Amino acid sequence: MNYLSLILIIPLAGAGLLALFEQIKKYLVKMKICTDCLNHIFANIVALGIFVFSFVSIFVDVGSLNTTTDGLLQFGQLQAILITIFSFLVWMVVLFSVEYMKGKNGLGFYYALILTLLSGLSAVVMANNFFTLFVGWEMFALSGYTLVAFDRMKRGAVEASLKYFIMSTVGSMFILLGTALTYGVYGSVSFDSLSGPMNPLQGAIIALFVIGFGVTSAVIFLNAWLPDAHSSAPSTISALLSGIVVKAGAYGIYITIFSISPGNLLDTSSVFVSWLAIFTMFEGNFLVFYQFRRKDIIDFKRILAYSTTVHLGYILLGIGSGTAAGVEASIFHVLTHSLGKGSLFLLSGIIIASIGSRDIREMKGIGRRSPLIGIFLTIALLSLGGIPITAGFYSKLLVIVSAAGGIYSSTMNVIIVILAIINSLLALGGYLYILKIMLFDEPDAKAADKIKIPIIQTIVMTIIIALIIFLGVWPDSIMQFIVVPV
């Protein structure tokens, strides 16, 4: 038996049982069984189990395990790290949802979709060929569409889900077309089937994959779905979209560059991806600052969504360096950004529930109304801004250093590094402006009451914020395990 296939099977089986609990809810109520309690407990057990399983696999010699199934799946250090990141954030979201989703209908379906999302993401990173990757891709994408529209009575939720569905489906069509052409021309869908002398058809196939994966990774001009989906979805789902879902697109681009043709295309594709990363950063920063100038509503969640685009640029920049060190830096930034942005979206759920608005102008001085919110907000924003002793500082530094040692010309290395630093400073300016509003501005007299955070949500936020500080002080605790074959 392939023990590692349990990473895919357990969440899918758990999702099926949770959906069943929801279907037979009225019978469980007659038996005086608290269905919501059952859903909360079972979902947390499954999410925690997958996290523990994947975390332990980081420290195990995967060569001693049965790690493949008929060439469909692969499992190594890279897969162990990524699935651990994914499953940790899923567990935090599930735990946070115990209070956040209280009183909501369809709780079993909600948890079932989250676990299906996790299983699909795991299938993507464990895939050993384009066909398996596409199956996992569609699995998490379908779950994502539905979760964005989970509050279907909420204004804009269904519209945002439809926009996400249309754009993501177009991206999936590019991936499917690339997979079909790969099989039709080369007779295989393995990742290394395109390796060999460069030709125009090979370049066209690679372009199809990059565009398809680029939609989900929210690169420049392909991210119109991002702000609507993030702002309209429940804050827990926004945390998953920004924290892990968009990272699947970056992983797909990594697979395209390094696994398809590591020798003959690396120079050209690395330059392209690096400049794509820089332009994506500039677009994200521009859109963040544009939000601050809006007269109708300065949507906090929308700002966080556009900020995700900036950080995806950093992840792509490490991949575009064309080196193992660059990809390892990108993976570490996947982790630090997942913690920082995931915590901010979860925190936005607390704030929005307290004040009944997503407008940042209604959040003036909220850090004074709740010292815990002020602490969580400060550490998470400073980590995303790349301030020392936070995890985000070290991951950004590693990405920039890897770009300085990229495989392109020394002059281009310098230009790319300078532009990356400029974007980092622009992003930091946006985060400091948010801190200024939420910490230092005087709250309105009518909103001077203290805000209390439920104990479970406090525990979740404390765990994530503590990890941000821990990884900022001791980054080698995880960096030593991030080993990428290039």
Summarised one tens digit per residue, pLDDT across range 430-451 is 999 999 999 888 777 565 577 8
Q: What is the 3-state secondary structure (H, E, C) of 81-125?
A: HHHHHHHHHHHHHHHHHHHHCCCCCCHHHHHHHHHHHHHHHHHHH
Calculate helix-pair angle for 130-148, 246-254, nearest 10 degrees.
160
Percent of the chain with pLDDT over 90: 50
Give Cα separations from 13 to 94, 235, 478 (angstroms): 16, 25, 30
Q: Which of 71, 109, 86, 70 is nearest to 335 (CA)?
A: 86
Please give the Cα distance from 336 to 384 (Å, whole number). 8
- pLDDT at position 310: 93
Average pLDDT over residues 264-269: 58
Average pLDDT over residues 140-156: 86
The residues that bridge with 73 in the sheet, in sequence order, are 127
Exposed (0-12), middle (13-18) or buried (19+): which is 449, by Cβ within 10 Å?
exposed
Name the token pair of 292: 């601050």
Please give the Cα distance from 8 to 109 (Å, whole number). 18
Name the token pair of 174: 């590019």
The pTM assigned to this predicted structure is 0.92
Task: Tell me the per-residue pLDDT of 213-257, one tens digit each, with 9 for 90 and over.
Answer: 999 888 888 888 988 998 888 999 999 999 999 999 999 998 888
Give Cα separations from 64 to 5, 57, 81 (angstroms): 15, 11, 17
As a dihedral over the C-alpha atoms of residue 186, residue 190, residue 193, residue 199, rounded to 10 degrees, the angle is 80
Q: Which of 117, 316, 347 is nearest to 236 (CA)?
A: 347
Interacting residues of 230 by C-beta distance below 8 A, sequence separation 6+: 238, 241, 242, 301, 302, 304, 305, 308, 345
- pLDDT at position 267: 60
Give Cα separations from 62 to 2, 16, 78, 473 (angstroms): 12, 29, 11, 28
Judge whether residue 262 has pLDDT over 80. no
Please give the Cα distance from 425 to 416 (Å, whole number). 14
Task: Tell me the per-residue pLDDT of 3-52, one tens digit each, with 9 for 90 and over.
Answer: 677 888 999 999 999 888 888 877 776 666 777 788 889 999 999 999 99
Instruction: Return the residue matching tokens 């940790």.
Output: 88
Q: What is the 3-state secondary structure (H, E, C) of 255-279?
A: HHHHHHCCCCCHHHHHHHHHHHHHH
Instruction: Return the residue matching tokens 């979805």.
Output: 233
Please give the Cα distance from 391 to 339 (Å, whole number). 9
**∠98-372-157 over CA atoms, to 5°?**
45
The residues that bridge with 129 in the sheet, in sequence order, are 190
Q: How many CB atoms lie within 10 A of CB 48?
A: 16
Please give the Cα distance from 148 to 403 (Å, whole number). 35
Give Cα separations from 338 to 41, 119, 170, 327, 459 (angstroms): 24, 18, 26, 16, 17
Task: Tell me the per-residue pLDDT of 365-415, one tens digit each, with 9 for 90 and over.
Answer: 888 888 899 999 999 999 999 999 999 999 999 999 988 877 666 788 889
Give Cα separations from 455 to 19, 130, 462 (angstroms): 27, 44, 10
Please give the DSSP secondary-structure letter assigned to residue 442.
P
Give residue 116's identity as a one-letter amino acid code: T
Give yes or no for a contact between 67 and 76, defined as CB atoms under 8 angstroms apart. yes
In the structure, what pLDDT confidence band is assigned to residue 305 with cuts at 50, 70 and 90? very high
Task: Tell me the per-residue pLDDT of 312-349, one tens digit each, with 9 for 90 and over.
Answer: 999 999 988 888 888 899 999 999 999 999 999 999 99
52-68 as b/e: b if 16+ CB within 10 A: ebbbebbeeebeeeebe
Judge whether residue 64 has pLDDT over 60. no
How does DSSP assign 190-234, residue by residue?
Answer: BTTTT-SS--HHHHHHHHHHHHHHHHHTT-TTS-THHHHHHHHS-
Task: Tell me the per-residue pLDDT of 86-137, one tens digit each, with 9 for 90 and over.
Answer: 999 999 999 999 999 887 888 889 999 999 999 999 999 999 889 999 999 9
In the structure, what pLDDT confidence band is assigned to residue 61 with cuts at 50, 70 and 90? low
Please give the Cα distance from 332 to 70 (Å, whole number). 30
- pLDDT at position 261: 52
Average pLDDT over residues 458-462: 95
- The radius of gyration computed from the CA coordinates of the chain, to the nearest angstrom, equals 22
Q: Mean pLDDT, the chain, as a whole number?
A: 87
Instruction: Return the residue matching tokens 């968009």.
Output: 246
Where do the domains of the chain lie? 1-128, 129-479
Give yes or no for a contact between 359 and 437, defined as CB atoms under 8 angstroms apart. no
Judge whether residue 66 has pLDDT over 60. no
Judge whether residue 264 has pLDDT over 60. no
Give yes or no for a contact between 69 and 1, defined as CB atoms under 8 angstroms apart. no
